[in-house]
Homo-oligomer: A and B are copies of this chain.
Amino acid sequence: MSDDLLRTLADEREIEQLMYRYIDRVDANDPEGAAGCFAEDGIGVYWGEYRGQVAIAERLGTILDAFSATSHHLSNLMVRLEGDRATAQSYVYAFHRTVGAHEQLHVWGRWIDELVRRPQGWRFARREVRLVGRVGSHPSSIEEDRNLVGHPGRLIR
């Protein structure tokens, strides 16, 4: 029992650290480093599905090209372990400064993740960004209505 509990705490910590490494690489303007946090056949859902580290790095690079600085702050991480697989939900607030215009973009969202344990450690099998709110005008063509899907499972009362 005690060993199982310790293993659970360690797995959750490794998954948390994977998410921080991903963010550190994104904010370092290193899309290849961020894509390296995915499994080889992992899927990144960034307003469209991108499969594999090459496609994910390319997509992230296109997004990052618009910004001279980004800062992604993760919180509220909930992990559900199932052996060598896991699912997770976390919150993100992100600060962005746009290239040239020096305008700021602020977004609030969720990361909905599926993870898989590889010999080298935990990796993203699927990572989806869902937006809850936004302040500032995004320089790309992403449309407001399409992205503000809100909190997962938000109820109508």
A interface vs B, CB < 8 Å? 2-3, 5-6, 9-10, 12-13, 17, 20-21, 23-24, 27-31, 61, 64-65, 69-78, 89, 91, 93, 95, 97, 104, 108, 132-133, 135, 148, 150-157
Most buried by B among A5, A64, A108, A157: A108
Contacts of A157 in B (CB 8 A): 29, 31, 61, 64-65
Q: Specify how many copies of this chain sit in the oligomer.
A: 3
> Is A75 a contact of B78 with CB atoms below 8 Å?
no
Cβ 8 A contact of A74, one of B3, B64, B76: B76
Q: A76-B24, A108-B71 are in contact. Are A29 and B95 (CB under 8 A)?
A: no
Contacts of A155 in B (CB 8 A): 28-30
Given A71-B108, A73-B93, 20 more pairs with CB closer than 8 A:
A17-B78, A21-B78, A24-B151, A27-B132, A27-B154, A28-B151, A28-B152, A28-B154, A29-B154, A29-B155, A64-B157, A69-B150, A71-B132, A71-B151, A72-B76, A73-B76, A74-B75, A95-B133, A104-B133, A104-B135
